[in-house]
Structure 1
Amino acid sequence: MGRVTDKLPPTVWVLISAAFVIAMGYGLIAPVLPLFAQDMAADVFPDAEITATTVVVSAFAVFRLLWATPAGSLVSRLGEKNIYITGVLVVGASTALTAFAENYWQLLVFRSLGGVGSVMFTVAAMGLLIKISPRHMRGRISALYGAMFLIGNMVGPVLGGVLAGFGYRVPFLFYAFSLLVAAVVMAVWMPSFSPGKGGKHSAIAPMGLREAFRDRAYVANLPGLLAHGWTNFGVRVSLVPLFVAFAVSREAWVAGAAMAVFAVGNALALPFSSRFADRGGRKPMIVLGAIVAGVFTAVLGFATGYVAVFLLCLLAGIGTGMFNPAAQAVVADVVGHERPAGKVIASTQMITDIGSIVGPMAMGLVVDLTNYGIAFLISGLILIFGAVAWIGTPDTIDRTRD
């Protein structure tokens, strides 16, 4: 029997290096985009500027959703590396155009087009992670990949808030440049995996959605992924900067700091949660993480002052850091690395994207009609439901021990 090693494959380091560069660039615009959009939305929709602002944020995810299935098919046909690089370059071009948007409608169009490229490289990245990750290290590799995004998201918002002092357009140009760097990293150092050409498993039929939906763990995982998209990719990105500007300070660096503190909480949880997910099980981390993130998100909208807002963001980040590696590992457990599964992987991304689309728009409307407290309370309860969905469903950890 071959010796099991804990040494990470070199391809993992290539992928996570690109992830860091992308995340840092994304973090640059995270605290700035809602404020940039709000300034333009106020001229067009003076009585519903919050809703109009969240539409700009959600439009990116709408196009991710629309292109998720085509992206999965393209990955299966052309290979993960090619689609990853193409997607990154598309987002880079969209971001550069966003920097030069002159009105609300241009901003909406340019930001929307970035969603096409985003889902291409996201689905490709998930496919690469599944292919290059040994079964006994899925939780840790998923966490490490996520950690690079988190570190980038810690550095990016703070730097983005500082750069915004030179104008809201400057962070977008830096983001476009970082995406070009990520594309070069992948092109030079990531080997190609040619789909269906002489591979060991080229004759094995792909996993289809019908088969995936017969898996209880796959189905139980979906509400949590929906809630994760709703709250952490949607509401947190679109409403937290606006809430901070409303309740604490309108200076861009404060919103950036709140988002960075959330990322710090993620990073603090990852070393423990990823190892526990690989050794103790996926389900405990998913359930506990969703509850912790849900509770502290639910009360965020009632906080006032720097200390309370930053502390709640930190604690919600810890919960998310517990949830995410285990939830991603469940997807890998269900799919396995032996069979093509582009459509199944894309479908999980679609669920997250649906949350990130509906969440900001729905909660933006709630804010316009009521207040931030109700919006964050609803979002926190949705996260908690992601834990409830796992009741009675077996863990998938045993599938890695065959």
Structure 2
Amino acid sequence: MVENKYWQRNMYILTFGNFIAGVGFSMVVPFLSLYINTLHHFNTTQLSFWSGITYSITFLVSAAVSPMWGKLADRKGRKLIILRASLGMAIVIGCMSIVTNVYELLVLRALQGIFSGYISNSNTLIATTAPSHQVGKALGTLTTGTVTGNLLGPLLGGAIAQMFGYRLPFLITGILLLSAFFLCLFFVKEDFVPVKKGKELSFGQLYHKLSEPKIIIGMCITTLVIQTANNSINPIISLYVHQLMHGQGKVAFISGLVTAMPGIPSALLASRLGALGDRIGTKKVLIAGLIFATIVYIPQAFVTNVWQLMILRFLVGISNAALLPQVQTILAKESPHEISGRIFGYNQSFMYVGNFLGPLLGSLVSGLLGYSMVFLSTAFLELFNLVFVQRVTHKNQ
């Protein structure tokens, strides 16, 4: 690993960029269906169809192209890919404010997926330049930015849309991403030694270059399961709150609070737990997070009021802070510097697939077995992940 003397400044700038990227990906959640409904007179079935495909296409495209951007980052540098992603998303998301029909919005959401890679390449740049004994803390700090963006995105987007209409949030996000582009352009420094074109490793050669390929593949699968579990709750959380409140009171507002709960401890603790992993072992923190996640999901199926659910969702955020940052730290420690971009790109693809599969799983389980079973099936996923991680990480991290 080549330490960069600018790594701390890079970390803070990219943490802000990750925050903006998190906002950009999550801000449309509260009103995307409502925005689509203003573009045409859809019936309920048509609106559900267009909302689903418009929301999911970003993740599907991102999953497909992330390895390509990771490979290019290993050859051209991570900063260049970060600049491409921030500028591309700034233009694309800004243009969403002026669409006139759902087809234009769908194309722009797909382009948003093509211009993915900001977060994964930020992680790669910091993981390959920070001192080895501070990698966990550094990646935890980046995750704090992402989680905070994911937390505040729906709240900010919903509030701005309520006051000023659905188009303004897209324009504001585009402007913020443009600021992230210029901050990276002028202040992020990367001492990069490129891999020459034609000398990139094939997938088979890449696999054999890894000292522990089983761990790398295992961590990618772990990422997929973590994201599937985290997102399986999304389709039913407001409906579950509605059921617990018997349809009385400010259901939409309370649903927003319940949705936001996990993000608060995740933002506060991700960096600290990363630093703890640097001291006592990354694997230990990851295992503890999976055990805790399994435990806190089970009682969510049996709550009798919304306040119990809110407390348990807050505890879920503690477990989240111990999961993805630790996975990324393990990947950083097990990946040779010259191929780390591709490894993080593959991991990002698994993350996006989990983002896509989670809501489908939650919708399927709730439709067949009820809302409570979604939490129990999620607890089972976390338990499976716990056993899986223990099997693939046979050496201490």
Q: Do the two structures share a fold, i.e. TM-score over 0.5? A: yes
Match for residue 92 of structure 2?
94
**Offset at residue 183 of structure 1 (A):** 0.9
Structure 1 residues 362 and 56: alpha-carbon distance in aligned structure 2, compared to 1, 3 A threshold: farther
Cα displacement (A) at 1:83: 1.2
Pick from 79, 82, 86 the counterpart of residue 81 of structure 1.
79
Higher alpha-carbon deviation: 359-368 or 130-139: 359-368
Change (3 A) 1:52 1:295: farther
| Residues 303-318 of structure 1: pairs in structure 2 closer than 5 A | 303=303, 305-318=305-318
Distance 1:193 1:239 in 2: 46
1:288-341 C-alpha deviation (Å, 9 max, x unpaired): 21232344345546656541332222111111111122111100011143x333
Q: 1:138 aligns with which of 130, 135, 158?
A: 135
1:364 counterpart residue number = 363
**Deviation, structure 1 residue 370:** 4.6
Tell me how far apart the structure 1 counterparts of residues 51 and 298 of structure 2 sit (CA, whole Å): 22
| Structure 2 residues without counterparts, runs of 5 or longer | none
Question: In terms of mean alpha carbon deviation, does 303-312 or 249-258 score higher?
Answer: 249-258
Q: Which amino acid aligns with 1:328?
A: Q
Query: For 2:131 and 2:200, how far apart are their aligned partners in 1?
Result: 20
State the AA in 1 paired with 2:213. D
| Inter-partner Cα distance in structure 2 for 1:236 and 1:368 | 13
Tell me how far apart the structure 2 counterparts of residues 52 and 369 of structure 1 sit (CA, whole Å). Answer: 23
Describe the SS at the equivalent of 1:208. Answer: helix
Scaled by the length of structure 1, what TM-score is found? 0.82
Residue of structure 2 in register with 1:379 after alignment? 378
Q: Check the 8 A contact 2:75/2:195 in 1, yes or no.
A: no
Deviations 1:155-184 (A, max 9, x none): 433323321312333322222222111111
Q: Residue type of the partner of 2:342?
A: K
SS of equivalent to 1:391: helix
Q: Which moved more, 1:129-138 or 1:362-371?
A: 362-371
Could you tell me which amino acid in structure 1 is paired with residue 13 of structure 2? Answer: V
Could you tell me which residue of structure 2 aligns to residue 235 of structure 1? 232
| CA offset digits 1:22-60 (Å, max 9, x no partner) | 3344453343346656888993552993x7644433221
Equivalent pair of 2:65/2:114 in contact (CA under 8 Å): yes
Question: Which residue in 2 is equivalent to 1:329?
Answer: 329
Give SS of 2:45's match: coil
| 1:224 aligns to 2:222 (yes or no) | yes
Q: Is the 8 A contact 2:233 2:374 kept in 1?
A: no
Deviation string for 1:117-144 (max 9, x for gaps)? Answer: 12x3233222212222111001111111
Question: What CA distance in whole angstroms lies between the structure 1 residues aligned with 2:8 and 2:34?
Answer: 41
In the aligned structure 2, how far is the partner of 1:336 from the partner of 1:88?
A: 26
- AA aligned to 1:46 is T
Question: Quick check: 2:7–2:129 contact (8 Å CA) kept in 1?
Answer: no
Indicate if the aligned counterparts of 1:99 and 1:170 stay in contact, CA closer than 8 A.
Answer: yes
Partner of 2:340: 341
**Count of residue correspondences:** 387
Question: CA, structure 1 residues 219+41, in 2 after alignment: closer, same or farther (shift >3 Å)?
Answer: farther
Query: What is the match of residue 159 of structure 2?
Result: 162
CA distance in 2, matches of 1:113, 1:250: 36
Q: Secondary structure of 1:350's partner?
A: helix
Whether 1:188 and 2:186 are equivalent positions in the alignment is yes
Distance verdict in 2 for CA 1:110–1:375, change over 3 Å: farther
Q: CA contact under 8 A between 1:68 and 1:346: conserved in structure 2?
A: yes
Q: 1:272 to 1:345 in 2, by over 3 A?
A: closer
Aligned identity (percent) is 22
273-282 vs 242-251, greater mean Cα deviation: 242-251
Instruction: Answer whether contact 1:335 1:341 (CA < 8 A) is retained.
Output: yes
Pair 1:294–1:168, CA change in 2 (3 A): farther
Q: Which amino acid aligns with 2:147?
A: L
Q: Is 388-397 or 62-71 further displaced after alignment?
A: 388-397
Distance 1:154 1:357, change over 3 A: closer
- Shift of the 151–288 alpha-carbon distance from structure 1 to 2, 3 Å rule, reads same
Q: Is the 8 A contact 2:21 2:119 kept in 1?
A: no
Tell me the secondary structure at the aligned position of residue 389 of structure 2. coil
Give me the whole-angstrom Cα distance separating, in 2, the residues matched to 1:361 and 1:90.
29
Please point out which of 209, 213, 216 is paired with 1:215: 213
- CA distance in structure 2 between the partners assigned to 1:179 and 1:348 by the alignment: 23
In the alignment, residue 282 of structure 1 is paired with which amino acid?
T
State the partner residue of 2:122: 125
Aligned residue identity for 1:162: A
Gaps of 5+ in 1: 398-402
User: Cα offset for 1:104?
Assistant: 4.7
AA in 1 matched with 2:162:
G
Report how far residue 191 of structure 1 moved: 1.9
Query: Contact (CA 8 Å) 1:32, 1:252: kept in 2 or not?
Result: no
Contact 2:37 2:47 in 1 (8 A): no
Q: CA deviation at 1:387?
A: 1.2
1:65, 1:350 within 8 Å by CA — same for their partners in 2?
yes
Identify the range of structure 1 (316-325 vs 353-362) with the bigger mean alpha-carbon deviation. Answer: 353-362
Question: 2: CA distance between counterparts of 1:73 and 1:25?
Answer: 24
In 2, the alpha carbon distance for the partners of 1:54 and 1:189 equals 38
Whether the 8 Å CA contact 2:128–2:332 is kept in 1: the answer is: no
| Alpha-carbon distance in structure 2 between the residues aligned to 1:82 and 1:138 | 22
In the TM superposition, what is the alpha-carbon distance from 1:81 to its structure 2 partner? 1.1
Taking a change above 3 Å as real, the CA distance of residues 45 and 204 of structure 1, as seen in their structure-2 partners, is: closer
1:283-298 pair list within 5 angstroms = 283-298=283-298
Residues 262-271 or 177-186, more deviating:
262-271
Match of 1:13 in 2: 12
Q: Normalising by structure 2, what TM-score?
A: 0.83
The whole-number CA distance in structure 2 between the counterparts of 1:363 and 1:308 is 21
- Counterpart CA distance in 1 for 2:146 and 2:366 is 29
